[in-house]
Structure 1
């Protein structure tokens, strides 16, 4: 349908989360001259996952200049892959530079959101109630730690904690440390702590393919050049080399039979074979699945670091945790002082554990009973004037989530324009549109590398990857302009 212009409306917004996407939402609203909004943040400051994760070696596996707002380049990154503290500092500075901080209510967690009488009613955990016309979920994905169900875990008498709850009060130089998990976090921790502790054991359920990457540091001269010529930053973000790297990875992901995936497989195998010489260790570190079936792990030095005499790799599987260590299924026992759970996050939570109810009290938990889903990863039928940034089935892998969030904001903001201009009082996608999207997405997802034969957090209970399965260019196209034929637009009361 074609919406007709009506009387302009003043709107109030509630944004949930002050991580990268929530800060972006605040900046974009202020750029429009809109100040009637609030950002609720459960933590004590901004930053989201970069505030939470302070473990040794924490860094972004997306090039730093790409992991920056398109409108706020940072010439002062110290490295091609920026360390976590610098990323956190970047978001702190952006929050202040654009004047967003005064709109944030810290240490305030949302319990419930309900759509009532054409507005969103939001209740905090401590009972405060707020209302808005538009609700934006910028809650992110990596913020609910996943604690593994390992027998005896609570029996351990040493220090035991999730990697997102890193203990900085421990002198690790005197500790025997075990790290459970070998996603990007586990790989980074082991590489950083290798040689720094008397004993380091890396417990792996299944080994990972490691993509080698340059440990490039930017010199003072490099940073000065970036300051003087922003085109140099743009070249790092989207120049020929960046496009080739991104294009190869995208082609490999969406087509498990692509030559690009064959090339990536060759690179990671060469990295393993040329770096690990010990046959026993090489066997332990060789996956039984294809590269990129799990989220590809980038590291400049894991294979080198894991060969340090103080480091051991275990793949036998954990039988149980005991008071003073970990016993494996083959009977091996490792006496330990510290146990780090680098076991990832509950990535299917998204806005949960909040309760969000839409039209006629429909509960998002019920809508997501099988798995989280949203039309083009942004909007949900029967939840009017609500959209998500980095929601379910959006582009994943080794992409810049900032670029994704910026495009999703542009899409959602165009829908909100319909409210601002008085063209309608509510928007939500049709159920038919979501069903068609899910059908096409599911069929395409079965052909991606994520479905090629491994267990990963991309898969739902039926083994179907919950991912964006098409070229990134397709995502750019659909985010450029909403198709209003796929939306229910509720007319104004006087319309």
Structure 2
């Protein structure tokens, strides 16, 4: 039997998934190192720090199963709170000393001579590992729109994930482009401080109403004294019924569950917006959940304030002082925020990844990023992905998804660490069968019902897990080893 410490593992990324991997490897007394391109941990909750940033998953459900947290201030937590939570978890499990900050991995190449991975970092240093865990995240490459004259604007302009800290917002004319979750949250937060707020809609979004309330100090103390109260929220029957209903609707657009989701969203719009003209501006022309649903509890109230304007006309160009629309309208602005999303097909890119027989990840991911059950890749031995391509996406906790993926990965790692395998990778035939079935099913989901969204690859196929939530749970319960090529030690 080999000693566990003889196999070295590199973790790329110190966000939610990277911390999860590090904690579990540390518990198993395995040798690992975490590489983080930024100067602090937290991933998307570090990069995004815009006003109004809130997770749309209930706070107690958006925590690691092994690290409950009694200090959440409200039912839905803010971004800064979530970042502090991850920092606390990293401290509690003594992970921080194992993180190499400001160290981006620029190349990750497999060496077939000794079945190792050679990693090169942004400082020019090289590192050799036996196993690579890719926990780079999905939404971390900002997508900037191609708007004529943007660089001519003399006010402040930036992507929502690159917020200018210390920016004075009070009594300013502010424009926000984009109305996904970020755009909606920013508009909601700034209507109370802006002189005028212009929300430039590229396409309106369906909004699912959710509740929000603060936790009292008495409730927090109760959580501290009795962690079971946290579990009661985390495993709340109604919450999980909503998750399963939503998931059933996604995979079967003609189902009663999808009809219920659409009815809730439509009724919320109809009952919340009083002005018929504004209501029609806010009404999407595609089915609910075709794009990622926006969960919110006050956007519709905020956009009816007298200092808010919803613009549906396309932006023609930006001038030194504002935005000119194609219908002739001009809006003078002090600040322009681009809540225009991310390149969701990048994952570990632009890192150069080369696997067996010189296979590049760029080639393997043409025409679309994909992975066997969202975790492993044929031709890339001993490389494992957390929240990788074709995994479940939607309005539920990605921590739960990553924990289930880790259970799957850990079983494969155990084979390597036990000395029963030098390398493990999925068979090409098994992967091709999975991908064929996945594409066929994905095209039938609500994501393929006729709208543009970041869920779609460049050929128009949803980059998603297209089956039921329980199907994913079952798939992650235990790897089907007949689908894997194992090279003995």
- Which TM-score applies when normalising by structure 2? 0.98
Within the candidate set 61, 64, 71, 1:69 is matched to 64
Aligned to 1:434: 431
Match status 1:126 vs 2:123: yes
Match status 1:358 vs 2:355: yes
CA distance in 1, matches of 2:163, 2:275: 32
Within the candidate set 248, 252, 255, 1:251 is matched to 248
Match status 1:42 vs 2:34: no
The Cα of 1:7 is off from its aligned counterpart by: 4.6
The Cα of 1:215 is off from its aligned counterpart by: 1.6
Secondary structure of the residue that 1:260 maps to in structure 2? helix
8 Å Cα contact 2:367/2:459 also seen in 1: no
Superposed, 1:372-451 pairs within 5 Å as: 372-451=369-448
CA distance in 1, matches of 2:33, 2:142: 26
Any runs of at least 4 consecutive aligned residues in structure 1 with deviations exceeding 4 A, and if so which?
6-9
Superposed, 1:198-277 pairs within 5 Å as: 198-277=195-274
Match status 1:349 vs 2:335: no
Secondary structure of the residue that 1:50 maps to in structure 2? helix
Aligned to 1:101: 96
Aligned to 2:132: 135
Match status 1:367 vs 2:364: yes
The Cα of 1:159 is off from its aligned counterpart by: 0.6
Superposed, 1:151-230 pairs within 5 Å as: 151-230=148-227
CA distance in 2, matches of 1:472, 1:208: 24
Aligned to 2:17: 21
CA distance in 2, matches of 1:462, 1:103: 40
Match status 1:488 vs 2:488: no
Aligned to 1:12: 8
Within the candidate set 333, 336, 347, 1:336 is matched to 333
Spell out, residue by residue over 1:402-446, the C-alpha distance to the aligned partner (whole angstroms, 9 max, x if none): 111111111111111111111110000011111111111111111
Secondary structure of the residue that 2:88 maps to in structure 1? helix
Aligned to 1:469: 466
CA distance in 1, matches of 2:223, 2:251: 34
Spell out, residue by residue over 1:131-160, the C-alpha distance to the aligned partner (whole angstroms, 9 max, x if none): 111001000011111111111111111111
Match status 1:293 vs 2:290: yes
The Cα of 1:369 is off from its aligned counterpart by: 1.7
Secondary structure of the residue that 1:172 maps to in structure 2? coil
CA distance in 2, matches of 1:218, 1:201: 33
Within the candidate set 107, 111, 135, 2:106 is matched to 111
The Cα of 1:233 is off from its aligned counterpart by: 1.4
8 Å Cα contact 1:255/1:447 also seen in 2: yes
Aligned to 2:316: 319
8 Å Cα contact 1:195/1:308 also seen in 2: no
Spell out, residue by residue over 1:313-357, the C-alpha distance to the aligned partner (whole angstroms, 9 max, x if none): 011111111111111111111111111010111111001010100
CA distance in 2, matches of 1:442, 1:235: 37
8 Å Cα contact 1:373/1:392 also seen in 2: yes
Aligned to 2:78: 83
Secondary structure of the residue that 1:261 maps to in structure 2? helix
Spell out, residue by residue over 1:448-468, the C-alpha distance to the aligned partner (whole angstroms, 9 max, x if none): 111111111111222211110
The Cα of 1:75 is off from its aligned counterpart by: 1.4
CA distance in 1, matches of 2:310, 2:357: 54
The Cα of 1:169 is off from its aligned counterpart by: 2.5
Within the candidate set 277, 280, 294, 1:280 is matched to 277
Aligned to 2:27: 31
CA distance in 2, matches of 1:240, 1:133: 42
Root mean square deviation of aligned Cα: 1.0
Structure 1: gaps spanning 5 or more residues: 1-5
Identify which range, 168-177 or 257-266, moves more after superposition.
168-177
Aligned to 2:144: 147
Spell out, residue by residue over 1:188-230, the C-alpha distance to the aligned partner (whole angstroms, 9 max, x if none): 0000001211011000111001111112211112212222222
Aligned to 1:3: none
The Cα of 1:239 is off from its aligned counterpart by: 2.3
Secondary structure of the residue that 1:81 maps to in structure 2? coil
- Count of aligned pairs: 486
Match status 1:307 vs 2:307: no
CA distance in 2, matches of 1:278, 1:49: 36
